[in-house]
Amino acid sequence: MRRLVLLLVAVLMAPCARAADLQVMVRDSRGHPVRDAVVTYYPQGGGGAGGVRFDWPYRMAQQNLQFDPFVLVVPAGATVAFPNRDTVRHQVYSFSPAHPFELKLYSRDETRTVRFDRVGVIALGCNIHDSMVGFIKVVDTPFAAKTDAQGAAELHGAPAGAGVLKIWHPYLKAPANEMASAVSLPPSGELRRVETLDIRSPPIRRNTY
């Protein structure tokens, strides 16, 4: 049932450098680009643990009765702000084992913050608005990115050599919604991968007021 169809087309380009770029294209089984898939790379022997920072804000806003962004990638230990930009109040919670929490009702323009120390996926919901779903992916690697609308993600400066490439998506039909594959980065240049994922269609969410 939790099936992974993996088509691997590797094109090795080798510029002479210590670090390499990793380009990943994620598509679903029908060939459509998949956005909001989190691509992480773990070089063999680790590297870069601690002091990981990303150049996007660690913020999960609530706007138009939606979490924005849908998926947020943060390093472990990051403090994420939860600003309410709606006119209604929200009560954000998570039962995820990685970090269950509950933010009591808070109004427009109020911001709550939560520090996430443990690596994992925190599924966010609003107790008032069932249709609101969001995810925070807490990672412990500097090589992490989220696919854009074209399903593309790029990792820069990863060390050459062997490593593990992981792709996570909230609706990926896979254990823990994640799949991993061993890759070998060339000493220099780029590694381009096209990953095809079996994505479940998102559930219809009805608000039960």
Partner 1 sequence: MFRHLRTKLTVLYAGLFGASLLLLAAALYGVITSEADRTVGDELTASATVFDRIWAMRSQELQEGAALLSRDFGFREAVASKDAATIRSALGNLADRLHADRAYIVGVDGSATAADGRPIEPAAARVLASLDQDEDASGVFTISGEPYQAISAPILSPTLTGWVVFANKLDKREMTSLERLSAIPLQASVVYRVRSGAWRFSGGDQTGLDAGRLSRFVERELSDRTVRVRHLATAGGSSIALVTPLKTLSTSAPAALVLHYPLALALAPYRLLLEAAGAAGLLGFLILAAGSWALARGVTRPITALDEAAQRLQRGESVAVEVTTADEIGRLAASFNTMASEIRAREHKITHLAMHDQETGLPNRRALEETIGAMADAGDGRLVIAALGVDRFAEVRGAIGYGLAAALLGEIGSRLASLHPGRPLARLSTDVLGLAFLAEDALAARRLAIRLLAELEAPLSLGDNTIDVSLTIGIALQGEHDDLVPSVIERANIALDQARTARQKTALFDPELYGDPSANLSLMSEMLGGLADGQMILYHQPKLDLRAGKVTGTEVLIRWRHPTRGLIMPDRFITMAEETGHIGALTEWVLARALEEQALIRHAGHELTVSVNLSGRLVGDPQFAGAALDMIRGAPGAFCFEITETAVIDNPEIALKTIDRFKAAGIAISIDDYGSGLSSLAYLKQIHADELKIDKAFVLKIDESQKDALVVRSTIDLAHSLGLKVTAEGVETPTALSLLAGMGCDLAQGYLVARPMPLKELLMFMVDEEVGKRRRA
Nearest to 13 by CA among 187, 166, 195, 196: 187
At its nearest, how many Å lie between partner 1 and the CB of residue 68?
A: 15
C-alpha 17/C-alpha 30 separation (Å) is: 36
Residue 52 or 123 with smaller CB distance to partner 1: 123
Residue 24 or 132 with smaller CB distance to partner 1: 132
Residue 136 or 165 with smaller CB distance to partner 1: 136
At its nearest, how many Å lie between partner 1 and the CB of residue 150?
A: 25
C-alpha 17/C-alpha 6 separation (Å) is: 29
At its nearest, how many Å lie between partner 1 and the CB of residue 67?
A: 10
At its nearest, how many Å lie between partner 1 and the CB of residue 102?
A: 9
Residue 21 or 198 with smaller CB distance to partner 1: 198
Question: Which residue in the block uniquely carries the two structure tokens 């061993």?
Answer: 182
Neighbours of 70 (CB within 10 A): 16
Residue 127 or 188 with smaller CB distance to partner 1: 127
Cα 39-45-46 angle, rounded to 5 deg: 45
Interface residues toward partner 1, by CB under 8 A: 1, 93, 95-96, 100, 123-127, 130, 132-133, 170, 203-205, 208
Complete DSSP assignment for 63-123: ETTEEESSEEEEETTEEEEEEB-SSS-B-EEE--TT--EE---B-TT-EEEEEE-S-EEEE
At its nearest, how many Å lie between partner 1 and the CB of residue 163?
A: 29
